[in-house]
């Protein structure tokens, strides 16, 4: 499990700068007789929340098919009879690529064919990302589908779709029925034809999204949390309040709420580490009426996601709860620093043990790329490899490795991961390192 998580963290450089918000659009069939209209219900990157319809260009009022999800327009293809869709999920989670469908065929709105990477002769090793950096965003868990490095890597002719892949193969599929029609060597494919850019007629639409963060106000102009404070007898955390976080027990929750065009809560998902208030919070949210002007015009519902928290209204009770929580955390810390594994991840005992584990976890190409980096440039790995080390080797919550560093006079997780990275770099390059010369 640990290696899969590490590969997710290290995947970032395989991503171009494509982190655009979802938007509504139309994609036409090659014969222009039909089009797909896909409308998102969220502005999140790579969202599937939304609705898609297939419509005849001659009768735009009556959808032929409805699919209850949003598709990114980049690799969506419609058959010339308007009955079928082919959708390629161009972004892959390397930790689950064996299980996930990356090419899906829809017939009359239902999935009737689905392909995985192995169906195109790819394996896990093909997709192992190189050791990279800058990995602190939602997009870090994904890498691109292994096309050839060419803007013309998908060819469409009538109702056939050809995928030009970096393993030297070309797969031609039928958009109409979803079957693989032909497999060919890339060299043969390129020698037999002139590769032209795929022409697709796409129309984009803009929608006004009044807010980008948090939840909309209520129809009476109040903030939602003021109502919850009154009804639940609590105090909400708003913004970065260090006193609140340090001195009071706080109950955090993450909310995903769909608000319809009338301002009503249509769908609600709540996650709370402490379920004590879960039912009460859920009931209250379902009674709230939000300002419908905050919902994008013409969209039937819109999803909002937010993370917040609150404490009990009585400051003395909240402080007492926090003291009990700290006492419990200390007991948990004493257990953690004795364990050789936490959450099924092996925890190195010391710096030398870190080297052994990194040797096992990283591929040869990862290590070669890392070793060739100058020591003055190692900071670029702080949010990639460094982030994985801090989170998975227990440097924040305590582990035998963090305890090892504490004994050496190093107390901040950022310093610990920086030392591991710099000493591992010296280790790979055959240079001497001394623990009494800790680079921080």
DSSP structural state of residue 174? E
Bridge partners for 10 per DSSP: none
pLDDT 10s digits, 357-378: 999 988 787 888 889 888 888 8
pLDDT 10s digits, 425-435: 999 999 877 76
With tokens 């190195």, the residue in question is 348
Please provide residue 270's backbone torsions phi and psi, each rounded to the nearest 5 degrees.
-120, 140
d(CA 102, CA 115): 6
* Least trusted range by pLDDT, from 43-47, 139-143, 387-391: 139-143
d(CA 246, CA 261): 40
Mean pLDDT of 416-428: 93
CB 141 within 8 Å of CB 8:
yes
Q: According to the model, what pLDDT value does residue 139 have? A: 35
pLDDT 10s digits, 383-407: 788 888 998 999 998 999 999 999 9
Q: What percent of the chain has pLDDT over 70?
A: 82
Report helix angle 413-428 to 385-392, nearest 10: 120
Please provide residue 91's backbone torsions phi and psi, each rounded to the nearest 5 degrees.
-120, 130
Tokens linked to 366? 């990862």
DSSP structural state of residue 74? G
CA distances from residue 378 to 59, 132, 423 in whole angstroms, order as listed? 59, 11, 11
DSSP structural state of residue 200? -
User: Confidence class of residue 266 from pLDDT cuts 50, 70 and 90?
Assistant: very high
With tokens 């938007």, the residue in question is 23
- Strand segments (E) across 328-440: 341-342, 345-346
With H, G, I as helix, E, B as strand and everything else as coil, classify residue 110. Answer: strand
DSSP structural state of residue 113? E
Q: Of 357, 347, 355, whose CA–CA distance to 400 is shortest?
A: 347
Neighbours of 157 (CB within 10 A): 13
Mean pLDDT over all residues of the chain? Answer: 83
Domain 224-324 has CATH 3.30.1150: yes
Domain boundaries, the chain: 2-204, 224-324, 337-428
Q: According to the model, what pLDDT value does residue 85 have? A: 95
């Amino acid at each position: 499990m640990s290696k899969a998580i590490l590969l997710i963290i290290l995947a970032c450089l395989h991503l171009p700068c494509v982190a655009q918000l979802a938007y509504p659009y139309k994609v036409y069939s090659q014969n222009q007789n039909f089009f797909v209209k896909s409308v998102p219900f969220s502005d999140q990157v790579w969202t599937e929340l939304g609705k898609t319809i297939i419509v005849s260009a001659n009768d735009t009022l009556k959808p032929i098919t409805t699919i209850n999800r949003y598709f990114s327009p980049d690799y969506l293809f419609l058959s010339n009879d308007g009955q079928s869709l082919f959708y390629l999920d161009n972004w892959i989670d390397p930790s689950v690529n064996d299980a996930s469908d990356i090419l899906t065929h829809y017939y009359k709105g239902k999935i009737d064919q689905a392909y995985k990477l192995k169906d195109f002769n790819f394996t896990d090793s093909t997709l192992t990302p190189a050791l990279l950096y800058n990995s602190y965003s939602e997009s870090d868990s994904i890498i691109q589908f292994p096309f050839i490095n060419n803007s013309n890597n998908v060819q469409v002719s009538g109702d056939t779709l050809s995928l030009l892949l970096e393993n030297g193969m070309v797969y031609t599929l039928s958009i109409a029925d979803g079957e693989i029609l032909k497999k060919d060597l890339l060299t043969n494919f390129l020698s037999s034809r002139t590769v032209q850019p795929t022409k697709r007629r796409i129309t984009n639409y803009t929608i006004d999204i009044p807010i980008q963060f948090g939840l909309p106000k209520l129809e009476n102009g109040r903030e939602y949390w003021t109502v919850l404070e009154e009804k639940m007898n609590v105090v909400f955390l708003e913004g970065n309040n260090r006193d609140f976080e340090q001195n009071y027990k706080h109950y955090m929750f993450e909310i995903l709420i769909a608000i319809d065009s009338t301002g009503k809560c249509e769908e609600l998902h709540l996650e709370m580490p402490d379920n004590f208030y879960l039912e009460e919070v859920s009931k209250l949210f379902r009674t709230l009426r939000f300002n419908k002007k905050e919902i994008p015009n013409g969209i039937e519902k819109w999803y909002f996601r937010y993370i917040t928290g609150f404490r009990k209204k009585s400051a003395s009770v909240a402080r007492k709860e926090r003291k009990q929580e700290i006492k419990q955390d200390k007991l948990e810390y004493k257990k953690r620093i004795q364990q050789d594994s936490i959450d099924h991840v092996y925890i190195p005992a010391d710096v030398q043990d870190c080297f052994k584990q990194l040797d096992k976890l990283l591929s040869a190409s990862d290590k070669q790329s890392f070793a060739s980096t100058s020591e003055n440039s190692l900071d670029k790995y702080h949010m990639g490899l460094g982030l994985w080390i801090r989170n998975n080797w227990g440097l924040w919550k305590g582990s035998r490795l963090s305890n090892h560093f504490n004994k050496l006079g190093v107390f901040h997780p950022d310093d610990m991961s920086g030392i591991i990275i710099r000493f591992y770099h010296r280790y790979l390059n055959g240079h001497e390192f001394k623990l009494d010369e800790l680079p921080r």
